[in-house]
Amino acid sequence: MSVTTTIKCDRCHKEVKNTEIKSININVADGANNRYEPSYSYPVKHADWCIDCCVEMQVYSPKKKTDEPTPPPITIEDLVREIVREETS
């Protein structure tokens, strides 16, 4: 018998398998050079997003064909705004 866990995306509210969800975190770290040291960072905001939302918001990109058009880049401000919007709604 196998058990499948489903999780609801914090952004689009679609239910997906736990293997199809990504943890999105905004961390704050001391000093400019600590961005690669997670033990020195402090989580400030968190959201669980499905892969479709991650791709739409450009925080995750599965391998794709090179001839596909690239969407315009999303700014870090847009990304933070999206995560905070989910926490306040």
Work out the number of other CB atoms within 10 angstroms of the CB of residue 45. Answer: 14
Q: Is 9 in the site for Zn ion (CB under 5 A)?
A: yes
CA torsion through residues 35, 57, 64, 70, sign: negative
Tell me how many residues contact Zn ion (CB under 5 A): 5
Find the shortest distance in angstroms from Cβ 51 to Zn ion. 8
Residue pointed to by tokens 């997670």: 38
Encoded tokens for 69: 């058009």
Restricting to residues 10-69, name those near Zn ion by CB under 5 A: 11-12, 50, 53
Find the shortest distance in angstroms from Cβ 29 to Zn ion. 27
Q: Footprint of Zn ion on this chain (CB under 5 A)?
A: 9, 11-12, 50, 53
